[in-house]
């Protein structure tokens, strides 16, 4: 070899596109492109972050015992079977790194999170995309696409950017149907926005090859802190901890997440506001000819006549200081993903799209 060369697959990785946050020349911009909590982090998390500052010369906990115990207590899970990561993205990466490699296949779904093919390629594995059915994960199609090479299946439930959900019965059918050498990862980034959903924790307890991932980035408003976690059988957790750096979570991140997890009052408020406003937003947009599927998340997927209309609406929203997300890269060219903001933000979105539709008529 005559020159330095990255490992196979690395140069096939398309860089992740984050949500835009500025519009040149427009003030009073509201960012509704990354499904962030419009109410910010819990005030208790902010306090915990500032309290942690005096100890920044100390290395953080390596085993995250305190945070795992709070999470375990809150969700009724065994803390020993929890692993924490720099966002759930890192937990997903541990899974791919530990369980997939060159020659292996990693299944993700048509409109699934764009990080799945990225982390599959990071591990040198081959991502395999499976079609969805009317913007819903299609269990039969996944089972049909599973081969002797399939090592991991990533399913987001509820989905991003679809906002739809599959039933517990369908999730169970998928877990039952997959071969035991294949891991099923249930990405529950939006589980807190579904009343009564356990995120797949019950399935983890029933199947040795099911993993649930969760995050503090969405309802807890800590996207900037990067804290996520996974729950699985003990032997899987033991494997993931071997590829985890000992100090992956900072002192500050651990303190913020623990305080946020303990603040039930703030959580309940954010959940209630989101549940109320996502229905209002969807209904108002439906009245003006912009339908969406019932949302189980903190965003709606607004559908337009075609790609041209979706892009024109996005351009217009930007002039109004509203940043939403184009999702053509998720095979949804005629749609825009709009985070459910606070009431003022939702009203501004409805007013702007009404003006856009009126102007177009
Ligand atoms: C936001 C999101 C995550 C969370 O990522 P973090 O790394 O925890 O910030 C994971 N999966 C999906 C589908 C998401 O939308």
217 CA closest ligand 1 atom index: 9
Instruction: Tell me what pLDDT residue 14 has.
Output: 84
Distance from the CA of 2 to the center of ligand 1, in angstroms? 40
pLDDT at 284 over 70: yes
3-state secondary structure of 236: helix
Task: Please state, in angstroms and as integers, the Cα–Cα distance from residue 90 to each residue in 83, 85, 114, 219, following that order.
Answer: 10, 5, 14, 18
Mean pLDDT of 302-316: 98
90 CA closest ligand 1 atom index: 7
The angle at the Cα of 339, spanning 43 to 323, to the nearest 5 degrees, equals 105
Residues with CB under 6 A from ligand 1: 87-89, 113, 156, 160, 187, 189, 215, 217-218, 223, 228
Q: What confidence category does residue 268 fall into, taking pLDDT thresholds of 50, 70 and 90?
A: very high
Instruction: Tell me what pLDDT residue 1 has.
Output: 67
Using CA atoms, how far apart are residues 289 and 131, in angstroms rounded to an integer? Answer: 27
Distance from the CA of 354 to the center of ligand 1, in angstroms? 31
Q: Where are the alpha helices (DSSP H) in the chain?
A: 43-52, 65-75, 87-99, 115-122, 139-145, 168-177, 201-206, 234-243, 251-262, 264-287, 307-319, 343-360
> Which mutation among 34, 94, 218 tests ligand 1's pocket best, with the greatest number of atoms within 8 A of CB?
218
Distance from the CA of 146 to the center of ligand 1, in angstroms? 24
> Which structure tokens are listed for 132?
């969805």
Q: What is the pLDDT of residues 213-254, one digit of tens each?
A: 999 999 999 999 999 999 999 999 999 999 999 999 999 999
pLDDT at 361 over 60: no
pLDDT at 83 over 90: yes
> Which structure tokens are listed for 290?
């912009």
Instruction: Tell me what pLDDT residue 146 has.
Output: 98
> Which structure tokens are listed for 313?
């609406």
User: Do residues 35 and 338 lie in contact, with contact meaning Cβ atoms separated by under 8 Å?
Assistant: no
User: Do residues 326 and 34 lie in contact, with contact meaning Cβ atoms separated by under 8 Å?
Assistant: no
Mean pLDDT of 12-22: 80
Average pLDDT, the chain: 96
Task: Please state, in angstroms and as integers, the Cα–Cα distance from residue 91 to each residue in 115, 175, 257, 295, 321, following that order.
Answer: 12, 20, 16, 26, 35
Mean pLDDT of 315-333: 96
For 58-101, give the DSSP string: SPPPSS-HHHHHHHHHHHT--GGGEEEESHHHHHHHHHHHHH--
pLDDT at 287 over 60: yes
Q: What is the pLDDT of residues 162-204, one digit of tens each?
A: 999 999 999 999 999 999 999 999 999 999 999 999 999 999 9
Sign of the dihedral through C-alpha 243, 247, 253, 259: positive
pLDDT at 103 over 90: yes
Mean pLDDT of 128-135: 98
Using CA atoms, how far apart are residues 278 and 219, in angstroms rounded to an integer? Answer: 14
User: Do residues 117 and 332 lie in contact, with contact meaning Cβ atoms separated by under 8 Å?
Assistant: no
Mean pLDDT of 49-69: 97
Q: Which residue is listed with tokens 């937003």?
A: 281
Task: Please state, in angstroms and as integers, the Cα–Cα distance from residue 141 to each residue in 117, 153, 158, 182, 245, following that order.
Answer: 18, 12, 18, 16, 36
Per-residue exposure over 106-122, b if at least 16 CB sit within 10 Å of its own CB, e if not = bbbbbbbbbbbbbbbbb
Distance from the CA of 359 to the center of ligand 1, in angstroms? 36
Using CA atoms, how far apart are residues 312 and 318, in angstroms rounded to an integer? Answer: 10
Instruction: Tell me what pLDDT residue 62 has.
Output: 97
> Which mutation among 18, 19, 37, 89 tests ligand 1's pocket best, with the greatest number of atoms within 8 A of CB?
89
User: Do residues 171 and 203 lie in contact, with contact meaning Cβ atoms separated by under 8 Å?
Assistant: yes
Q: What is the pLDDT of residues 329-356, one digit of tens each?
A: 999 999 999 999 999 999 999 999 999 9
Distance from the CA of 199 to the center of ligand 1, in angstroms? 14
User: Please, what are the domains in the chain?
Assistant: 10-40+265-356 (3.90.1150.10), 43-263 (3.40.640.10)
Closest CA to 280 of 355, 205, 338: 338
């Amino acid at each position: 070899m005559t020159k330095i060369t990255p490992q196979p697959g690395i140069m096939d990785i398309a860089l992740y596109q984050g949500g835009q946050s500025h519009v040149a020349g427009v003030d009073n911009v509201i960012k509704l492109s990354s499904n962030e909590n419009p109410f910010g982090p819990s005030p208790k998390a902010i306090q915990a972050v500032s309290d942690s500052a005096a100890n920044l010369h100390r290395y953080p906990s390596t085993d995250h015992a305190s945070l795992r115990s709070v999470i375990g207590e809150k969700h009724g899970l065994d803390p020993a079977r929890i692993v924490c990561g720099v966002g759930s993205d890192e937990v997903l990466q541990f899974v791919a790194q530990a369980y997939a490699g060159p020659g292996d296949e990693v299944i993700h779904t048509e409109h699934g999170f764009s990080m799945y093919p990225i982390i599959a390629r990071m591990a040198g594995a081959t991502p395999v995309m499976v079609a969805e059915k009317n913007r819903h994960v299609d269990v039969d199609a996944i089972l049909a696409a599973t081969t002797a090479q399939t090592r991991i299946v990533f399913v987001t439930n509820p989905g991003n950017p679809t906002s739809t959900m599959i039933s517990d019965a369908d999730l169970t059918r998928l877990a039952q149907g997959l071969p035991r050498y294949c891991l099923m990862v249930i990405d529950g980034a939006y589980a807190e926005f579904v009343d009564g959903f356990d995120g797949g924790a019950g399935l983890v307890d029933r199947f040795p090859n099911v993993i649930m991932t969760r995050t503090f980035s969405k309802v807890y408003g800590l996207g900037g802190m990067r804290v996520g976690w996974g729950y699985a059988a003990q032997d899987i957790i033991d494997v993931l901890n071997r590829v985890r750096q000992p100090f992956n979570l900072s002192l500050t991140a651990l303190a913020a997440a623990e305080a946020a997890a303990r603040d039930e009052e703030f959580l309940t408020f954010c959940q209630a506001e989101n549940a109320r406003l996502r229905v209002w937003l969807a209904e108002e947009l439906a009245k003006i000819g912009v339908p969406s599927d019932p949302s189980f998340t903190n965003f709606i997927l607004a559908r337009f006549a075609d790609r041209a209309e979706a892009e024109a609406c996005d351009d217009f929203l930007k002039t109004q200081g509203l940043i939403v997300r184009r999702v053509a890269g998720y095979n949804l060219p005629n749609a825009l993903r709009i985070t459910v903001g606070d009431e003022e933000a939702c009203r501004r979105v409805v007013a702007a799209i009404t003006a856009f539709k009126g102007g177009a008529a």
